[in-house]
Amino acid sequence: MPSANTPDFSPPELSLRLRQQELVAEFGRFTIQTDSFQAILDQASIVAGQGLEVGFAKVLEYMPGDMAFLVRSGVGWKDGVVGNARVGGDLQSPAGYAFRSGKPVISNHLTAEQRFRTPALLADHGIRSAINVLVSTNDAERFGVLEGDSTHRGEFGDHDVAFLQALANTLAVAVAAQKRQDAREQLLREKMALLRDNEALLHEKDLLMQEVHHRVMNSLQLVQTILAMQARILTNPEAKEQVEEAAARIMTVGTVHRRLYEGGSVIAADADQYLQRLLDDMKGMLSGSDGRALELEMSSFSLSADDITSLGLISSELITNAIKYGQGKIQLKIVRQANGLELSVSDEGKGFPADFDPATRRGLGMRLVAALAKGPGADAIRVDRSVPFGRIVVTTAFGGSGKP
């Protein structure tokens, strides 16, 4: 004898209920193993039809903008219905009522139904009875409705509701997973779009900097040409020399600018690489001097664009003087200290005259070096008389935050 709590099923109905449980379990495994969301929706319609033993079933997705449902998947329907047909989403629609109330809706006699209107889609297919359940993981994530429809069954019951709701709940988990996947993909698309925009802006910046560089170089070249032309027509030797020196300094500024630009950054640069390239340019000035060489001794470190530009101009000025007035090999040495950089330029000549004091020189070159050095005290520029050859030392505040 069955207990009072055991449903009294006939053998065919018991077999159907067991089959419904198996179908829900199989559908759960299917959702885990399948990547295609549409395939999951299609399978839900197939399983609903099989479990209810009806020829029609469908998954309805609610479209907020239309206040209606779109038939996302289905079985038994005419061509063109799935993916296109819409069903009303208001409370007078069976599906709409199930969606809005969250309660299952059974309509066993659609032709005599007084609570709802019969959707045209059901009437067109001769549907006599329908059952609708909500597809949702929570109130905020309502996807739509799972529906079974029959042209022959007269009575859907509570056990059919239990089966269809279990199936809908399993489908809702897959829907939630798909929404998370869609959100991740949307975030990735937005990130890729931002990266593309950033790359476009960087490319635009590079083009702009290249244009600025060319304009600066052209302007410096024009000024140098004008000064060179002016020097050629001057008859006063002193004035002629000063103008020629000014033209040479303009070209030095151009060289310093070009080497900084070629370093790939307008914010900071590697001082060692920058000065080595700058000295390579200046070696052309030694091509007519037998046995003279130009060497750089320093460690590798980074400096700001402003500091490295000033460092390049100071180095160029002192090396130019060594080329003009010194002898033998020329060495540029830079030592990093706690409060800045110490720069020295040496040659193998006899050295500076005893009365030479760079701090009191009125020449443009030394005044330019003093202005650029920003070094502490009156001895920012000094002659090193502890050596038997020419050496001038400049103390600067460049890179003062670094350690020696």
Cα–Cα distance between 83 and 274 in angstroms, integer? 65
pLDDT in tens, 21-69: 999 999 999 999 988 999 999 999 999 999 999 999 999 999 998 899 9
Whether 154 has a pLDDT exceeding 90, the answer reads: no
Q: Are 403 and 355 spatial neighbours (Cβ–Cβ below 8 Å)?
A: no
Nearest to 32 by CA among 130, 174, 161: 174
pLDDT in tens, 178-220: 888 888 888 899 999 999 999 888 888 777 777 776 777 777 7
According to DSSP, residue 116 is labeled: S
Q: What is the pTM of this model?
A: 0.53
Q: Span 349-362, mean pLDDT?
A: 82
What architecture is the 11-190 domain classified under in CATH?
2-Layer Sandwich (3.30)
Domain boundaries, the chain: 11-190, 267-404
Cα–Cα distance between 236 and 33 in angstroms, integer? 94
pLDDT in tens, 278-325: 888 788 766 555 668 889 999 988 888 788 888 888 998 899 888 888
CATH class of 267-404: alpha beta
**What average pLDDT does the structure give for the chain?**
85
